[in-house]
Amino acid sequence: SQTIHQWPATLVQPVGSPLSLECTVEGTSNPNLYWYRQAAGRGLQLLFYSVGIGQISSEVPQNLSASRPQDRQFILSSKKLLLSDSGFYLCAWSRRGTGELFFGEGSRLTVL
Protein backbone atom coordinates (compact mmCIF):
# COMPACT_ATOMS: atom_id res chain seq x y z
CA SER A 1 0.00 0.00 0.00
CA GLN A 2 1.03 3.57 -0.55
CA THR A 3 1.98 5.91 2.26
CA ILE A 4 3.02 9.53 2.44
CA HIS A 5 4.96 11.17 5.24
CA GLN A 6 5.94 14.76 5.81
CA TRP A 7 7.94 16.40 8.56
CA PRO A 8 8.32 18.18 10.79
CA ALA A 9 4.74 18.17 12.07
CA THR A 10 5.06 21.47 13.90
CA LEU A 11 7.62 24.24 13.88
CA VAL A 12 7.96 27.77 15.15
CA GLN A 13 10.43 29.94 13.27
CA PRO A 14 11.53 33.58 13.55
CA VAL A 15 11.03 35.99 10.67
CA GLY A 16 13.97 35.85 8.30
CA SER A 17 14.99 32.30 9.16
CA PRO A 18 15.18 29.49 6.58
CA LEU A 19 12.66 26.71 6.12
CA SER A 20 12.81 23.14 4.92
CA LEU A 21 9.80 20.80 4.86
CA GLU A 22 10.27 17.31 3.52
CA CYS A 23 7.80 14.83 2.09
CA THR A 24 8.30 11.25 0.93
CA VAL A 25 5.96 8.77 -0.70
CA GLU A 26 6.32 5.01 -0.49
CA GLY A 27 4.71 2.16 -2.37
CA THR A 28 4.31 3.84 -5.75
CA SER A 29 6.44 5.04 -8.65
CA ASN A 30 6.34 8.23 -10.73
CA PRO A 31 3.73 9.99 -8.59
CA ASN A 32 2.64 13.55 -9.16
CA LEU A 33 3.63 15.51 -6.05
CA TYR A 34 2.13 18.67 -4.59
CA TRP A 35 2.59 21.30 -1.90
CA TYR A 36 -0.50 23.13 -0.66
CA ARG A 37 -0.83 25.77 2.06
CA GLN A 38 -3.85 26.50 4.21
CA ALA A 39 -3.73 29.81 6.05
CA ALA A 40 -6.03 30.42 9.00
CA GLY A 41 -9.61 30.81 7.78
CA ARG A 42 -8.65 30.32 4.16
CA GLY A 43 -8.88 27.53 1.64
CA LEU A 44 -6.23 25.18 0.34
CA GLN A 45 -3.86 27.09 -1.92
CA LEU A 46 -1.77 25.18 -4.45
CA LEU A 47 1.87 26.25 -4.18
CA PHE A 48 3.86 23.81 -6.32
CA TYR A 49 3.38 20.59 -8.22
CA SER A 50 5.77 18.20 -9.89
CA VAL A 51 5.22 15.55 -12.54
CA GLY A 52 8.78 14.22 -12.42
CA ILE A 53 12.28 14.58 -10.98
CA GLY A 54 13.51 18.13 -11.38
CA GLN A 55 10.19 19.27 -12.89
CA ILE A 56 8.54 21.90 -10.70
CA SER A 57 5.59 24.12 -11.54
CA SER A 58 4.98 27.15 -9.36
CA GLU A 59 1.45 28.41 -8.97
CA VAL A 60 1.96 31.43 -6.76
CA PRO A 61 4.98 33.79 -6.87
CA GLN A 62 6.42 34.13 -3.37
CA ASN A 63 9.53 33.53 -1.35
CA LEU A 64 9.09 29.77 -1.30
CA SER A 65 10.70 27.20 -3.58
CA ALA A 66 10.33 23.48 -4.13
CA SER A 67 12.65 20.73 -5.28
CA ARG A 68 12.26 17.09 -6.23
CA PRO A 69 15.70 15.47 -5.93
CA GLN A 70 14.31 11.92 -6.11
CA ASP A 71 11.20 10.35 -7.62
CA ARG A 72 9.34 10.11 -4.32
CA GLN A 73 10.80 13.04 -2.42
CA PHE A 74 9.48 16.59 -2.46
CA ILE A 75 11.00 19.45 -0.48
CA LEU A 76 9.59 22.89 0.27
CA SER A 77 12.11 25.58 1.18
CA SER A 78 12.53 29.22 1.95
CA LYS A 79 15.68 31.27 2.50
CA LYS A 80 13.94 33.94 4.59
CA LEU A 81 10.53 33.41 6.13
CA LEU A 82 7.89 36.11 6.31
CA LEU A 83 5.08 36.44 8.84
CA SER A 84 2.64 35.70 6.02
CA ASP A 85 4.25 32.28 5.51
CA SER A 86 2.52 30.98 8.64
CA GLY A 87 0.03 28.24 7.91
CA PHE A 88 -0.68 24.56 7.55
CA TYR A 89 1.43 23.02 4.79
CA LEU A 90 0.23 19.86 3.15
CA CYS A 91 2.12 17.55 0.85
CA ALA A 92 0.08 15.31 -1.45
CA TRP A 93 0.53 12.78 -4.22
CA SER A 94 -1.60 11.43 -7.02
CA ARG A 95 -1.29 8.69 -9.59
CA ARG A 96 -0.57 9.78 -13.15
CA GLY A 97 -3.77 10.37 -15.08
CA THR A 98 -6.01 10.59 -12.03
CA GLY A 99 -7.03 13.60 -9.99
CA GLU A 100 -7.51 12.05 -6.56
CA LEU A 101 -5.04 13.42 -4.05
CA PHE A 102 -3.64 11.61 -1.04
CA PHE A 103 -2.42 13.98 1.64
CA GLY A 104 0.33 13.79 4.21
CA GLU A 105 -0.31 14.60 7.85
CA GLY A 106 0.52 18.27 7.43
CA SER A 107 3.14 20.63 8.90
CA ARG A 108 1.99 23.56 10.98
CA LEU A 109 4.36 26.53 10.61
CA THR A 110 4.20 29.57 12.85
CA VAL A 111 6.46 32.48 11.94
CA LEU A 112 7.00 34.96 14.77
Partner 1 sequence: GQNIDQPTEMTATEGAIVQINCTYQTSGFNGLFWYQQHAGEAPTFLSYNVLDGLEEKGRFSSFLSRSKGYSYLLLKELQMKDSASYLCAVPNQAGTALIFGKGTTLSVSS
Interacting residue ranges for partner 1, rule: CB under 8 A: 32, 34, 36, 42-44, 46, 49, 51, 57, 59, 88, 90, 99-106, 108
Q: Closer to partner 1 by CB, 49 or 74: give it.
A: 49
31 secondary structure, DSSP code: -
Least separation in angstroms between residue 73's CB and partner 1 is 18
Contact assessment for residue 63 and residue 79, using Cβ atoms and an 8 Å cutoff: yes
Contact assessment for residue 77 and residue 23, using Cβ atoms and an 8 Å cutoff: no
What SS3 state is found at 85? Answer: helix
Least separation in angstroms between residue 57's CB and partner 1 is 7
